[in-house]
Amino acid sequence: MIKSDKTAREIFEDVMANPQRVPFGFGNKAVLVNVDPQKAYTRTDLFKTAYETDPRQLEYVNQLSRGFRQLNWPVVWTHVAFLDSAEDAGVWGTRTDTPDSLQNIKYGSERAEFDERAEIEHGRDVVYTKRMPSAFFETPLQSLLVWHQVDTVIVTGGSTSGCIRATAVESLSRGYRTIVPIECVADKHESYHYANLTDLHLKYADVMPVADVLAWLESRAADKA
């Protein structure tokens, strides 16, 4: 094991400044999966379970969503919600039982609501309720991707160390090129955030500035014009 006195952020910056990894790259068609931009995780003024890394995160997510719609590519939004009994949380809901606990994000509650800043086009965008970390787990996401014949998954949302990581790893495992825009993901602590961005970039995804993703979308739109 390599030991270091550097912070997780410093290690991440070193990795990003040393482009030795061959990128997976963009494919021909992508899906945008916006993972859990709901009040329990985004409204730091309301809930102590919420967090913010880049204050413009949802602004960037909305920009990406508009770019995807312009190309008629799928935009997916997920959020977490559980039954009053919490039985659908399974063993994941057994560690704590406080008002802030995961399994107490109930259907119809404010914690389960999407952040008002998220520009969701209901009736056009796809909305899934999930109960476990990965956006793929027991949702119709895989079938949607097959229908749209996508080969690239772009993941935004939170948390970087939890649901983003789980979704990205499963995306790669299912054979998709996987992209994580840096400014579009967030976590509770910068150590978890940057450590997982580093690991994702080295193993499972292309971690890159959101500007690079937006530039790619613009180039695809120009190709179609």
Active-site annotation, residues? 163
H-type alpha helices, the chain: 8-17, 39-42, 57-70, 141-148, 165-173, 190-199, 210-224
CA distance 91 to 184: 29
Neighbour-count burial of 111, counting CB atoms closer than 10 A to its CB (0-12 exposed, 13-18 middle, 19+ buried) = buried
CA distance 25 to 209: 13
- Give the DSSP per-residue string, 71-114: TT--EEEEEE-B-TT-GGGGGGGSS--STTSGGG-BTTSGGGSB
